[in-house]
Structure 1
Amino acid sequence: MRPGDAARGAAEVLQSLISHRVEGVSAVRRTEDGWCVEAEVLELARVPDTTSLLATYEVKLDEQGELLEYLRTRRYRRGAADE
């Protein structure tokens, strides 16, 4: 499995589990057990868009791309800058 495959697979399985739209993948790392992918998810759309709530999820996949676990690691407003 290549990094792009891991990113796409993680985004698809995460979106199906949490019923929120995955906006993109911000990181892909190779691990001893497979892959760790960080995905940005739109959890609550608001107007204006800069006040929408997003979250970062960490998704761990095995060598074959099967889900091992996922965890929300951060929640933030779209317009908020990293500290």
Structure 2
Amino acid sequence: MANTKNTRDSQNSPNEPEEREPAEEREPAQERKTAQSRLRPMEVLRNARAQLAELTGMNPESVSSFEQTEDGWALEVEVLELARVPDTMSLMASYEVELDPEGQLTGYRKVRRYERGRSDARGR
């Protein structure tokens, strides 16, 4: 007994194009990939703090600035450099941190050092 079940493959000849979704319903693969890999701001912040801590061995305490750039992300992270008693005398540092669009740290540098209890004379 022959198999008489109709299938899509047996109905189309090899020369006929397969049916496809209309162009407006299809999402280009690159756009899909970009949308799936786009990081949320909190993920970027967490990644930056963790990577900076691993590289410097110091404890990031806060992020004082954060922005998306053409090349990825730019942050300024406040780091505890030297704990002192009282805590207001502890030495802090601000680091500029750069990340690529995937959230991987590409560079950092210390931009200032200050005592925790002192106000910033530069008006920052």
Would you tell me which structure has more helix in proportion to its own residues?
A: 2
Aligned match of 1:13: 51
Q: Determine the structure 2 residue equivalent to 1:59.
A: 97
- Asked if the contact 1:59–1:67 (Cα under 8 Å) also holds between the matched residues in 2, the reply is yes
TM-score, normalised to structure 2's length? 0.65
Q: TM-score, normalised by structure 1?
A: 0.95
Q: Secondary structure at the match of 2:67?
A: strand
How do 1:31-70 residues align onto structure 2 when only pairs under 5 Å count?
31-70=69-108
Which sections of structure 2, spanning at least 5 residues, go unmatched? 1-38
Q: Which residue of 2 aligns with 1:26?
A: 64
SS of corresponding position for 2:63: strand
Aligned-residue Cα RMSD (Å) equals 0.8
Larger RCO: Structure 1 or Structure 2 (Cα < 8 Å, ≥ 6 residues apart)?
1
Counterpart CA distance in 1 for 2:43 and 2:66 is 10
CA contact under 8 A between 1:36 and 1:60: conserved in structure 2? yes
Using the aligned pairs only, state the percent identity: 52
Aligned to 1:72: 110
Name stretches of at least 5 consecutive residues in structure 1 with no aligned partner. Answer: none
Deviant stretches of 4+, over 3 Å: none
Give how far 1:55 is off: 0.3
| Cα drift, residue 2 of structure 1 | 2.1
Residue type at the aligned position of 1:45: A
Q: CA deviation at 1:67?
A: 1.2
Higher alpha-carbon Rg: 2
**Aligned positions, number:** 83
